[in-house]
Each structure stands twice: as C-alpha cells, then as structure tokens.
Structure 1
Amino acid sequence: MNKIISLDEISGALVCEAGCILETLDNYVKEQNLIMPLDLGAKGSCHIGGNVSTNAGGLRLLRYGNLHGSLMGVEAVKADGTVVDCIRTLKKDNTGYHLKHLFIGSEGTLGIVTKVAVHCPVLPKAVTLGFFGVKDFDSVLKLYKSAKASLGEILSAFEMADNDSISSTVQNLKLPNPIADFPFYVLVETHGSDETHDAEKLSRFLEREMSSGLIIDGTVTSEPAKMQDTDKDVEGHVITWFTAAVDMDGNKQGHPCWDTIWNLRESIAGAGLLDGYVYKYDVSIPAARYYDLVPVLRQRMAGKAVKVYGYGHVGDGNIHINVTVPEYSKEATDMLEPFIFEEVSKLKGSISAEHGVGFRKPHFIHYSKDEGAISLMRELKQLMDPNGILNPYKVLPDP
C-alpha cells in the first residue's frame, strides 16, 4: 500500500496510499515545487497512514499546522470491513459530519486508514536557519514573541533546548555545537518566497535582539542547496547568510552548519539512551508555564536521575521532558507517574501533545479529558468496533 495515486499541481492535493514513507512523498512533491506540510525526525521510515492515525505534529507545525488542517480526506476500513471513502481533494466540503476527523489521531482504534489526501504547500524559495544562545527561559519567551511580531508569515519553526539537552547530545554522540555553551538554545527557521524580503525582515529582527541582549551569540545559515563557496565580505553583524553560514560577528563558518544544527536538535531524543534508561514525556503546556516542570522534576528526582532536561516546540506549547536514570526501576517510575501528569493537569495542559496515548497512558487520560468526553469516546468505539478488535488496549482505559 505504498502507491502515489495522484498529485494536482494546481491545488497541491496529493492522494496516496497509507504505506507511503513520508520522506518519499516529500521528495516526490518537491519535483513539482511543493512540500509536505509535515516534517519529522523519523521521516525516512514513518508511514503517512501512521502519521494521520496519530495526528503527528512535527517540527514545522507553527508554519503549516497539524494534520487536522492539512488532511483533505481519508479512506478508512471499519472493523466489519466496510470501506469509508472520505477521499476528497477540496478545501471546502460542508456536507454533514466531518467523518475524516474520526480517524485522524484515533490511533487506529476506530478504523484502519488506507488512503489519504493531503494539501501540499508551495516549496519555499528562501529557507533560513538560526541557532542562538540565550541566558534564561524568560529570554526564550521574549524572543519568541519578538520573532512572531518581526518575522510573521515566514516563521516556520521556533525550537528550544536547555543546556542539558544539547550537552548530552554533544558529549554522548560527539556532535559539534556550532556556538558556545549557554543555559538555553533557540532554533529559528524561516520559509519564504523572496530572499531579499526575508533577509531584510530577519536582519532587522537579529539586529534588534542582539542589541537588546536577548540573543547573546549564534549562527545563521541558509538552505544547503542555496549556499555558495564565496569569499564575499560580510558587512555588519549578519548580512550574507544566504550565501554562507556566518556567526554573530560576521565570520564565515562554512556549509556543514545547516546539517549540524538540525542534527543536533533531532538527535536529542536518542542521545540520552547512552546514559541509561530514559523516561520520555511528551506534554503540551501554556507558553507562560512551558518550562515549569523541568526544575520541579530535577528537584524531585535529585539523587535518582542522571539528568532531567526539556526541549521542544515553543511555538505550539509542546515540550519533551526526558528523565534519564542509570537503569529502570519501579521506584523511579512511581516517583514520576502519575506525578508529572498531575502537574500537567494543574497547568491545564495535555499529557500527550503529539505522541498519542497508546497502551502506556490510557489510565492517565482522565488528566486531560473529563468523564463526559471519555464516555463519548467509549460510545464511538462501541459503535464502530463493538468487538474491540481494532488496536485493542490502546487509548481508552478499561471500564
């Protein structure tokens, strides 16, 4: 089930089977000057059907939204074998219930997704990446607010990682850090259609926030395909990032910087495994309280954990909290769960931002859904899968 069925070059509507690998689809649509609206670290192996079933978020949700907004239609098979054909390539179809949304994010418990129709945006002509060091998390939030106001529609990603996140990756995986050691790091990416226009906006943003002290140091680079090996002088702080990677003092850094930055960010999740057993929590929290849980957990796990660190997508409130311990123990588990979910609930957050509920968290779902919502979910499950044969033991807790 890995066939690409059609691609409308005018509307950007891609129709394909659920077994297509995300990176394969991205490479295919790029030939038509389009881009998949979803980008994940696992894009080389994950299937679009799984992405839809888990409503995957990814790195550029800030720019392109989640799959609920990008999916134009789905085909799914119910437990009794009935094929529900909701494949449409229209942005507007207001005919009754939006049945496709039943299957997006339901983790295969209501039906098996077999085909999808995805809206693919135009491939950006100008792509820029900045990696900055800041002094504290309050500065991260101020920088995010400034980036939204200054960069507007071209802001595609705003990522944060604390020092322990980056240092564990540098030390464990021997990856280079393109800038010095800082308490917090911010990754800013822009997608636009006009290099000159985007460069002007980014230049004003950088100059203002370097002068204000929010950005202490950093490096800015353009998409590798747009880089040129040039000896052109760099004027001011950051002017010619579209032709070479430069640091905040205008020193040319060279081409590897782009891959180095994204590799550093995407490798955080795996780096902690070299320290021992890793408890991974994927939660969303209101922006003002985004980082609150990390210091709380550090204090709670003092003497038990090797490291507690946080990183993630500031733009959509999704923080990944990793707790590494020398080895798995029930004592550590009991200290973390349900404590972390109780704290997330107090902050009016979600216990699963983008990784889903699966079979690990059904008995914690009540921290994010009230009894009325859970009851309605049970009714839908009973209606569509009365024998409980679709992905059993997932999402819903036992009655």
Structure 2
Amino acid sequence: MGGIRRPRSTDHVRPGRPAFPAGRPRPTRGADVPVRMRARHRDEAHRAATPLELFFDLCFVVAVAQAGRQLAHALAEGHWGHGVSGYLMLFFAVWWAWMNFSWFSSAYDTDDPLYRVVTLVQMAGVLILAAGVPRAFVRSDFTVIWFGFLVMRLAMVAQWLRAALGSAGAERRTALCYALGVTVCQVGWLGLLVLPRADVPWVFLVVALLELAVPVLAERARQTTWHPHHIAERYGLFTIIVLGETVAAATLAVQAALDEHEELGSLLPIAAGGLLVVFCAYWIYFAVPIHLHLRSNRQAFVWGYGHYLVFASAAAVGAGIEIAVAQAFGKTRLSTAAAAACVTVPAALFMFTVWLIHSRHQKRGPAQQLVLPVSSVLVLVCTFAGRWAVLAAGLVASATVAVGVTLTARQGTALAE
C-alpha cells in the first residue's frame, strides 16, 4: 500500500530478549514522565554514578560524623566496651541503609520523577537516623533511629514492589523476596524498643544477621543486574566521603587545640601523622581497579559486606586523631599508648581489610601480597612509640605506598620486557 508506514513496535520481541541492544541504556520517555521500572543491562556502557546518588551519599556525612563523634567521646572517657560496641551497632545501621539503596539503584535506577521522590524520602530517613545517634549511643534509646530506619525502609520496600510490578518470573520473585525480607527485618528491630536494655546487643546481633541473609536468600531465584563498574564507583565514592569526614573531624580537633593552647610542638606530630594516614588510606584503596573482580554474587557478597569494616575503620581514624589531640593536652585520662591505639588500631584494620577483600585480587607474587599485611602489623607496633606514635604510623603508611608503587612499576617493566 502507498500509505504512511507505521513505526516498528517492540511488542513482537520474544520474552527474555531485550528490546534494545545489550550494553546500551534502555531509552526512557524523559525525566518528567514516570516509566516502567525494569532491570538495567549489566553490560551497559559508560555507566556512572548520578547526581542523585551523590546527593544521597552526602546525606550520610551527617550520620557518619555523629557516630564518630560519639565514639571519640566514649573512648576519651575510658568507656572502651560501650564505645566500641555502640559504634559498631550504629555504624552498621548507617552502612546497611546506604548499601541497600546502592545495590538496588545499580540494578533498577530509572531516574524518573517517582524514583527521585522515593529516593528523597530515603534521604529524609537518613537525616532522622543521624539525629537519633547521640540519644542511642548515650541512653540506648533507639526510638528516633528506628523511626528514621522505618522511613528509609518504607521507601525501599516501595522501590522493590515497583520493580516487581515491572518484571516477571524469577526477577519478580527476587524483588518480592527483597520487599518481604526488608519488612520482616524492620519489624524485628522493634525489639530494640520493647525489650530490656540488657538484651539490646543480642537483638542487634540476631536482626543484623537476618538483614545480611535477605540479599543472599532473595538472589537465589535470580541475580539482580547490578553493574560491576558502577557499584565499584559507588563504593569508592563513599570511601572518599568517609575519609573526608575523617579529615574534617581531625581538623576541627587540631583547630580547637590551637585556639585554646596555641602550642604547635605537641600538635604537629599528630596532625602530620594523621594526615599521612588518611592520604595513604586513599592511595591504598584506589591503587587497583576492582570492577574486573566483581563477576557475580560469589565475589560481590564478600566484597560488599567486607566494606563494613573498611568504612567503619576509616571513620574511626578521625575519632582516634581527636583522642590523640585531647591526650596531648591532658583532656583525657587515657595513657599515651591507649590514645595512640585509637589511631593505629583502626588504621591497621583498614589496611588489612582493604588487602583481604579488595587489593589482593589484583596483586601478583608474594612481595606484592605481603606489603599490606606486614604494614598493618607495623602500624600496630607504632602504638608504643610514645608521643610520636601517630607520626610513626603515618610514615609507615607512606612507606607502604612507596613500596607498593615500586613493586608495581617493576612488575610492569618485567612484563614489558
């Protein structure tokens, strides 16, 4: 017929076959129109973090800062058990809320109005959680934190239900399992409010294990299509945010000490050493590309869950520097070694954990593999270096970077020859 030809429809595409070429983002109807939420392609090219994701991450700065500040106060007063346990519990809440959204967005980010609004609701929940951190830490009153978590989880369940509506078969079962698991765990956190305070650690441990089990169980039906390069970038950006908060906390501690005492002699070794530790932490983390290692959930679960210690230890370094500054001017009853341990222990833990879950997958040969484990032990030994402990730890971290760069360069030269 000589009439106008109709545009080709994609309705003829058989189920299971993408309507658009793999490796390219699925076209949408524009940012002003809600679209059907479908899984993004795992091999999508040029996938990067969005401005909304960066905004989401920045909201966690407040929560990380609150947790670090409370840890510093508790340790400075000598409450080691309460300080460490409280910090680990509260940081788990912060980290888990961030991680839930990050992996979901890697697989289902549509960036349409509905997705943005629901994400903004989650961000409001993060700020509520951050406001409840001091009350939970000091009084074991988790009411505000639970409510903030509730706001975030309602939004997260809504996102998973929307994903279920836009999918079928095993993919739908995965989304529904996530929605159900998140709901059940949120009810479980009520135990923090209704049970005696003595039971709080046990309630936390049980429900935290349930939270960790939800992704493992949900993805048995079908692995979500998270993007390796995108998720590696998301974790890297959050690492930068945590290290940035560490720098901010240390800077404020040094500034307060200078304003009060105007004495540089005691501050310079701590400030210089702390800065070297943070700068080297950045270098060590980003020394290797990790996205090539993340081939499936088998690698991703260990890598993703292990970052709880990476993030928590990085943030704790800032609290440790605060304590070291306070001890230098007699603002705490801690001994010099105890104050130094508040820096060296989390710094060593960061280095070892980064090697264990991150760097070792790209290292070649015994020499490269041993650099970070040996350095983490040497950083711990610096605890006993007296008033020079933090500076000594910074110098060890700097030597670690230098040795790592040298070995990598030699390996590259050997391969070229």
TM over 0.5: no
- What TM-score results when the alignment is normalised by the length of structure 1? 0.27
- What TM-score results when the alignment is normalised by the length of structure 2? 0.26
More helix by share: 2
